[in-house]
Structure 1
C-alpha cells in the first residue's frame, strides 16, 4: 500500500469527527506526552527470522524455538545464532584445545624449574629464625658443664602486677581519736581560744616545730654536701641556693624511675659488669641522691675490683679525703693502672705530694711514658734531667723523652744524648732534625748540610719511607721556630724537594710547592725551593720572575738586586728581567743604576721595544725631557724599535713640553705609518680640542673611526665632542651608529645613557638603560650605573637584581658599598669596598672611593693601610683615574697625590 493510500479521506465541511473511532498513528505511544514511556513486545515486531517452509505450513511454534538453540551459545544465540556453530567449528576447537594441552605440557617443566629457583632464592634471602641459629644450636653440644652452671639466673622481673596476698585491716577512727587524745599536751589549743569540746581535734605545736626543723636540716645537708667535699653553708646565700634548686617534672621523674629499674636489672643479672654499676651511680647522681650514688659506686668496686673505671667513678663521687682512701684501695687492687695513679696525683694539693705519688707509681710501672712526663713537668730542671736520664733507660724507644733530655743538657752532653737516641731509635727522623738544629744553634751553620743528608741516607737504609711532604712541613716548622733555624730549613729543602718527583714534573711541582709555602707565610722555605729549582733550571725566566717577586715581597733590596743580577746573566734575552732590575733601581732612587742596567740591556737586546720605552720612562718620570726626546728619536730611527708606541710616547713628550706643533707633526707622521693604531687618532683629536679647533678634532676622530671601526674610545670621544658643542642630537646619532657597528658593547650603551642624563632626558636615559641591560645583561658597569641612577628608595632592589646577575663583578660590589656608605653602615661599607679592590685592584676609581670612605669614617691606621695597598697595586685603569692621571698637569705626580686628586674628582660628573 502506498503512503498516499493511507491518508484519511477529507470530510465535508461542517461534519463532526469521532476521534475515538479513528486509527492511531503508527508511531503513537499512549501517555507519551504526559511523561509515560513506551515499550515494545515480541508480538509487536514478530519473529526475528522466518521459519522453514515446513514449519510455516505446520504453523508449529515449538519447532521454531528449537532452531534458535545453539550448542555453543545456548538460547542466547540471538539473530545470528542459527547455524553459526557447526561440526567444522567444533573440530577446529578440539584441534586448538589439543595444541594448547601440548604447549602447556612443554611449558610445565620450565615453569616448575623457575618456580623452584625463585622459592630457593626467597628462602635464602629470608631465612627462618630457626635456620639462622641452626649452627649455634649444634655448637651448644660442645659447651662444658661449668659454663652452663655459670649462666646467671634471670629472676622474676615481670611487668605484670602481682596480686598481694597480705591483707590489711583499716584501723577504726575511734582508736585513732583515743590515741591522739592520750598524747595531747598543754600546748594544744583550740581555734576559738576556749576549752576544746569533748572529742574535738587538737594541734601539737611541738611536733610541728620538730618536723619543720627536721625538714630544714635535711635541705641544708643536701645543699651543703657536694662531690668536692665542701660542707660549709653560706647563710647569706641560703635563700638564693634554695631558689636555684631545679624541680624535676613528672616526665623526668618517670624516666628516672624507668632507668633505675633497667639498671637494677643489669647489675642484678650481671653483677660483674662494671659499666652497669657506673651507669646506676650516675643516674642517682643526676636524680640528686648523692649518697645512693656513692653506695652504688662502692658496691661496684667490691663486685668489680679489677676495673679501673669503677674506682675512678667512686673517687669522683667522694670528697677529696675519701677519694684518696678509695684510690689507695684501687691502686692496691690494680697496681699497674696508670689512670688510678694519675688521678691520685691530681688529688694532691702540692707539687711535692704529687711528685711523691708519681714516683711511687713509677716504681710499679717504670715503662709508663705518661707517668714520666707528668713527673718531669712538675720537677725542677736538675731533677727533671735526672728523671729523664732514668726515663730513657726505662723507655728507650720513646723519642720524645730523648729530645726532652737533650734540650735540658749542655751542648756536649746533648750531642751524646742524641747519638744514643739515634742508636736506640734508628728509624726516627726527629733525632736527626734536632741534631741539625742543635749544631746550628751553637754556631755551626754548615753542619745542617752534612747532618740532614746523612740522616736521610741512614733512615732509608733502615727501611724508613722518605715522605717528601712531611719533610717540607718540618722545614717550615724549622723556619718558624724560636729562634728560627734557617740553615736546617734550607738543608731539608735541598735534600727532599726533588725526592720522588719525575723529571718532567720537577719545575711544575717546585713552583706549586713554593706558592703553597708563600701562602702559609713560609718565605724562607719558598726561597730555598726556588734556589733549588734555579740550580736545576737556570735558564727558566719564569722561575727567576717568581723568585724576584718573592724577594720583593719578603726580602731586602740587596737580595733582590743580587738575584736580578744573576737572573740577567743566565737569561740575557729575557726583557722582563732587565726591566724588573731597572725598575727596582729606579724605585729605590738609584737613577744612575737604572740607566746602567738599561744600557747593558740595550747591548743584549738592541731591538727590544720594551727596553727603549723603559729607558724613556726613567728619563721622563725624572723630568729629563731632553734625554727622553733623544732616546725616542733614536728609537724612531732604529727600524725594529720604531713602533706605534714609540711614536705615541714621542708625542707625549712634546705634549709635556707644550710643543703643540711638534706634537701634531709626530702624530700625523705616526698615523701615516700606523693608520690602524687608534690611540694616535685619539691623541690628535684631543690635541685639536685643547687648541680649540673643533672642526679639526672632528675630522681627526672621523678619520680614526673610518680606519678603526671597533675602536670604542674614538666613538665616545667623537660623541662627547658634539655634545660639548651643543649638538646632542648628532652625539646621539653617532652613538647609535657605533652600536650598530659594534653590537653588545657596554661602553657605548653607558655613553649613550650618560649623554641623555646630562641632557636631563631622564625618561630617555631609563629607556636606553633598559635596552642596554637586555643587550648586555651581565655587564657590571651597566648595573652599577643602574644602581646610581635609580631613586633612593629603589636602589636597594636594583642592587639585589644586579648581584643576582653578576655577583662577583667589582663595579657592582663598589656600587653596593656606596649604598652602605650613604646609609652610614660603616662596617658593611668597609667590607664591600675591600671586596671590590680585591676583585680588581687595577681600577683606581675603587681605591679613590675606598680612601675617601676611610677619610670620613676611619682612623689614620685604616687610611694608611688603604694607601699602602693602593701603592702596591699600582692601578692603571678607571674612568676617573685615567682622566686625572693623563691630565698634563698631573703627569709627574706621585701615586699618593694622584689618589687624592681622584678623590676630589669623585664629586664631578663623568
Structure 2
C-alpha cells in the first residue's frame, strides 16, 4: 500500500492507495510519454542516451481539470488501474510559460529571489568545476577522436596511399624498363584509350624530305649561282668553285705561320707569349644565353633612355659601360662620343670618354672637354695627369683661378722660387683659403727654412681672421696630423702651437690638451702628440704629471737621447719631483751607463736630501750591480736619516740574501720596535722562523723544528694583535697550524679569520681550498656557496667555483660569473681555460689576451698566456707574449709572487720568472688530474 500526501495545504490527511496489480515497470510506456511531465518537468534526454538531439514531439494539452480529476479519484483511472504516478491537484503556475534564459523553467518558483554576490560566487565555482572536468576529459576525448580517425583512414585509404609502396619501387626501374612500358598489355584504362584512339598515316611530301636532306648536307664548296643571286659583285665567269675545307686548312696554316713569326725569340722581337697565348684564350669569358638576354634587355632600356632624354649624361655613361662590359669597346666609344655631343657641359661624360679612349686619343678628348667646359677642375686635373711634361700642365689656373686645388698642383710642379710666386698669386685670388698658407709653410720647411714656418702659420691665421673666417680648432688639428703624415714636422708643430688654444677656456686648457695628446698617440700621430705636450709644458711648466706623461711618450716612441733631454728639462724646472730623477737614473742604468746613473742620483740627493725613494733606488742600483758594501752603507745612512719601516724591510731583505740570519733578525726586531704596525716586518720575522724550521726538518731535528714553529706561531699571533685585519697573517697562521696540528686547527683559525674580516674573498678562498685539499668536497661546495653570497662580485671566488663544479655545469656557472664580474681578469682567465680545454684555440687566445690587457701587472695571466702559445702558437706569437711580459714587468699574482720572492730566484730577470711559473702551472695541472683519477 502507498501513502500519498495531498497537495492541498489545508488537508493533512494521508490517502491510502491500493497497489495496482499491473506491473508498470516492465511494461512498454504509452506513445509520446515523457517522464515527469505531469509534475511540471519538461523532461530531458542526453546525447549519450539517444545520439544527436532531435525536436520533442507534439504533446496533447493536458488541462488542469483532467489532472485534478485524476487526483480526486485517488490516482486511479476509470478502469481502476494505477496510472503510474501520483499527481498534485494544483501546480500553482502555467506550464506553457515563456522560457527564461537565466532561470530556465523555474522562473515562476524564484521570481521574487535576488541574484546577489553569493550566487555569483557559486556560479563561478560551478563554472570552474565544469572547466576543470572538461579539461580532464580533453585528453581522453582527443585520444578517442584520434583513434576513430585512424580507424576510419585504415578502413578507407586514399588512392595515393594504396599505391605508395608501388611508387617507392619505381626508382629501381632502368631506362629500358621505362621504354618498354608500352609493350606491356596491362588491360587498364590507358591501354583501352590507346586502342580506341584513331590512327591515320599520311605520306610525307617530297619537298619536306628534300629540305631535310639539304639541312643535313655537308657543303664543301660555294655555289656560284647562289653567290650571283645573293648580289655578289664577282662575275659568273670569274667565280671559281671554292673548297671550304681547303680554305679552313689554309687559314690555320697562315695563323700558325704568323704566331711562329711573332713568337720568334731568337731575333729578340718576341711580341706574343707562346705559353701564355692559350692561357689568355682559355681565360676569355664565354657569355651564356641568359647573360646575352640580360644584355639585350639592358641595351633596350638604355637605348630608350638616351633617345627619350638625350641630354641625360648618366644614361650615355651607363650605355657605354654596358657595351664595354659586353666586350664591344668600339661601340662603347661611339656611344660616349655621342654622349659628349649631346651633353657638352657635363664633365662626367668627358671623363668617361677620356677613360675609354686610346692612350693616343685621350689628350685630344680631354682637350675637347676642356674647350667645352673651361672652368672644370676635374677636367684640368685629368689633363695635367696626361701631360708628361710638367710645364704643359700649368694652364689650368688661368681658366680656373678660383680653385685652390689647381693652384696647389701648379705650385708643386714649379721650382722653389716660382712656387712662391704661384702661392702669392693664389693668396691674392683666394684670401680665405687656409690650404695656401699651410702649403707655403711646407714649402719653406722642404727648402730648409724652418725658422719661417712658424711665422707663415701665424701670419696666415691673422690674415684669415681679418677676412672674417672662423678658425676651426679641430680642422686645424687634423691639418697638423696631415702635415705629420707628409713629413712636415715643423709645420705640424707650428699649427699646434698657434691653434691649440683657440676656443678653449683657460680653466680647461690642461684637461683638453692632455686629452688631445693621448688621442693623437692612439691614432699614431706621435709628432702631433709630442708638439701638444711641448706647448702644454710651456704653460704648465711646474706640473709634474704633464712632465711624466711627456716622458712616457718619449719612452714608448722616442729615443734614449730624447727621453734624457726631456727628463733633464723636467728636473731643471721641477727639482723637487722624485720620479723624473728616478726615471733618468733608471734609463741610464738600463743603457749600461752605471756611472751616469750614480751621478743623477747624487744630484737627486742634493735636490731632495730626505727622499726615501731616491735612497732606496741608489741602494738597488748598487745591489744589482754587485756592490754590497755600497748598498749596506746607503741603507745605513737611510736608517740614520729617519727612514720608514720600508727601509728596515729592505735592509732585512739585503741581509737575508747575503745569508746573515742573525743580522736579519736584529734588523727585524729593531724595525718592529720602531714600527710595530708595519705588518711586512712581522711576516718576514715569521717566515724567518719557518725557514729555520724547514732546515731543521731537513736535518732530521724534530725538537728544533718544533721550537721554530712555536716561535713562528708567537710571531704571527703578535702580529695579529697589532694588525688584526691583516689577511696574510691569518693565512700564514692557518698554514702553520695545519702543518703542526692538522686540518681541524687550521679550520678554526680560518673561521676566526672570516669573523674578523667579513666579506674578504681571500679568506673564503683559503677555507674552500683547505676543505678541497683534504677531500671534503661537500663541505667545500657549501663554503663556496656561502662565499659567493658574502662576496658576489669577487672574481677569484667565481673563477675557483668554475673549476670546482663538474664539467657539464661549468657553462652555466660561467654565465653566472660573467653576469656578476664580467671585467674581472680571474673570471676571464677561467673562461679562456674552458675554451682551451675544449679545443677552441682562437677564442682561448682572444680571452687570454683580454685578461693580460685588463690587468697586465698580474704575472699568473702572462704565464698562462705563454703556456698556451707554447702549445698552440707559433714562434712569433710566443716571442710576442714574452716581449710584452718583459716590457710590463708584472709584480703580482699568487704563483708569480711565490716564485719571484723565493730566495733562490732573487735578481732573476722577468723572462726567467715567467718560464718558472709556466713550469709550476704544468705541475699543478698534473697533480689535479692525478687527484681526479
CA distance in 1, matches of 2:579, 2:823: 32
1:903 to 1:304, Cα distance in 2 relative to 1, 3 A: closer
In 2, are the aligned partners of 1:335 and 1:364 still within 8 Å (CA)?
Answer: yes
Q: How far did 1:205 drift? A: 4.2
Determine which of 429, 447, 459 is the counterpart of 1:424. Answer: 429
* Equivalent residue runs for 1:64-143 within 5 Å: none
Question: More displaced, 755-764 or 534-543?
Answer: 755-764
CA distance in 2, matches of 1:679, 1:832: 35
Q: How far did 1:828 drift? A: 2.1
2:559 aligns with 556
1:36 to 1:506, Cα distance in 2 relative to 1, 3 A: same
CA distance in 2, matches of 1:206, 1:295: 43
2:258 aligns with none
1:755 aligns with 770
In 1, are the aligned partners of 2:411 and 2:420 still within 8 Å (CA)?
Answer: yes
Determine which of 679, 689, 702 is the counterpart of 2:717. Answer: 702
Q: How far did 1:647 drift? A: 1.6
In 1, are the aligned partners of 2:899 and 2:916 still within 8 Å (CA)?
Answer: yes
1:342 aligns with 351
Post-superposition Cα deviations, 1:481-525, rounded to whole Å, max 9, x if no partner, equal: 2xx111111111111112222221111111111111111111111
1:473 to 1:312, Cα distance in 2 relative to 1, 3 A: closer
Q: Does 1:688 align with 2:689?
A: yes
SS state at 2:450 partner: coil
Determine which of 354, 357, 368 is the counterpart of 1:360. Answer: 368
CA distance in 1, matches of 2:451, 2:441: 10
Q: Does 1:519 align with 2:540?
A: no
Determine which of 360, 383, 388 is the counterpart of 1:375. Answer: 383
In 2, are the aligned partners of 1:799 and 1:816 still within 8 Å (CA)?
Answer: yes
* Equivalent residue runs for 1:761-776 within 5 Å: 761-776=776-791
Q: How far did 1:687 drift? A: 0.5
Structure 1: gaps (5+ residues): 1-15, 42-195, 214-233, 248-283
Determine which of 385, 389, 399 is the counterpart of 2:391. Answer: 385
In 2, are the aligned partners of 1:294 and 1:317 still within 8 Å (CA)?
Answer: no
1:725 to 1:351, Cα distance in 2 relative to 1, 3 A: same
CA distance in 1, matches of 2:823, 2:411: 55
1:209 to 1:245, Cα distance in 2 relative to 1, 3 A: farther
1:442 aligns with 447
Post-superposition Cα deviations, 1:341-394, rounded to whole Å, max 9, x if no partner, equal: 23332331x2220111111221222111111112222221x1x4323x210000
Q: Does 1:829 align with 2:829?
A: no
Post-superposition Cα deviations, 1:23-45, rounded to whole Å, max 9, x if no partner, equal: 966689999x9897699x9xxxx
CA distance in 2, matches of 1:681, 1:840: 29
* Equivalent residue runs for 1:736-755 within 5 Å: 736-755=751-770
Structure 2: gaps (5+ residues): 17-34, 42-63, 65-198, 218-278, 694-707, 926-933
In 1, are the aligned partners of 2:407 and 2:423 still within 8 Å (CA)?
Answer: yes
In 2, are the aligned partners of 1:783 and 1:802 still within 8 Å (CA)?
Answer: yes
Question: More displaced, 820-829 or 17-26?
Answer: 17-26
1:799 to 1:24, Cα distance in 2 relative to 1, 3 A: closer
Q: Does 1:477 align with 2:492?
A: no
Q: Does 1:535 align with 2:535?
A: no
CA distance in 2, matches of 1:636, 1:432: 63
Determine which of 622, 631, 635 is the counterpart of 1:632. Answer: 635
In 1, are the aligned partners of 2:4 and 2:15 still within 8 Å (CA)?
Answer: no
Q: How far did 1:456 drift? A: 1.4
Determine which of 864, 883, 889 is the counterpart of 2:879. Answer: 864
- Scaled by the length of structure 2, the TM-score of the pair is 0.67
In 2, are the aligned partners of 1:385 and 1:405 still within 8 Å (CA)?
Answer: no
Post-superposition Cα deviations, 1:290-329, rounded to whole Å, max 9, x if no partner, equal: 67446534xx53x544443444455456654444444444
1:864 to 1:30, Cα distance in 2 relative to 1, 3 A: farther
CA distance in 1, matches of 2:468, 2:610: 58
Q: How far did 1:760 drift? A: 2.4
CA distance in 2, matches of 1:597, 1:412: 50
Post-superposition Cα deviations, 1:16-65, rounded to whole Å, max 9, x if no partner, equal: 9999999966689999x9897699x9xxxxxxxxxxxxxxxxxxxxxxxx
1:731 to 1:353, Cα distance in 2 relative to 1, 3 A: same
* Equivalent residue runs for 1:52-67 within 5 Å: none
CA distance in 2, matches of 1:582, 1:485: 33
In 1, are the aligned partners of 2:299 and 2:319 still within 8 Å (CA)?
Answer: no
Q: How far did 1:583 drift? A: 2.1
SS state at 1:443 partner: coil
Question: More displaced, 826-835 or 526-535?
Answer: 826-835
1:651 aligns with 652
CA distance in 2, matches of 1:434, 1:903: 57
RMSD: 3.4
Post-superposition Cα deviations, 1:805-840, rounded to whole Å, max 9, x if no partner, equal: 322211111122223333333222221111110011
CA distance in 1, matches of 2:919, 2:778: 30
- Scaled by the length of structure 1, the TM-score of the pair is 0.68
2:547 aligns with 544
In 2, are the aligned partners of 1:460 and 1:466 still within 8 Å (CA)?
Answer: yes
Question: More displaced, 412-421 or 518-527?
Answer: 412-421
2:593 aligns with 590
Q: Does 1:798 align with 2:807?
A: no
In 2, are the aligned partners of 1:30 and 1:38 still within 8 Å (CA)?
Answer: no
In 2, are the aligned partners of 1:598 and 1:611 still within 8 Å (CA)?
Answer: yes
Post-superposition Cα deviations, 1:92-128, rounded to whole Å, max 9, x if no partner, equal: xxxxxxxxxxxxxxxxxxxxxxxxxxxxxxxxxxxxx
1:663 aligns with 664
Determine which of 723, 726, 737 is the counterpart of 1:711. Answer: 726
Determine which of 871, 891, 896 is the counterpart of 2:906. Answer: 891
Post-superposition Cα deviations, 1:424-470, rounded to whole Å, max 9, x if no partner, equal: 21111111111111221122222212221121122222222111111
In 1, are the aligned partners of 2:302 and 2:315 still within 8 Å (CA)?
Answer: no
Q: How far did 1:792 drift? A: 4.0
1:205 to 1:629, Cα distance in 2 relative to 1, 3 A: farther
1:59 aligns with none
Q: How far did 1:615 drift? A: 2.1
CA distance in 1, matches of 2:914, 2:200: 106
SS state at 2:469 partner: coil
CA distance in 2, matches of 1:847, 1:325: 68
1:453 aligns with 458
In 2, are the aligned partners of 1:654 and 1:663 still within 8 Å (CA)?
Answer: yes
1:669 to 1:362, Cα distance in 2 relative to 1, 3 A: same
Q: How far did 1:578 drift? A: 2.0
1:487 aligns with 490
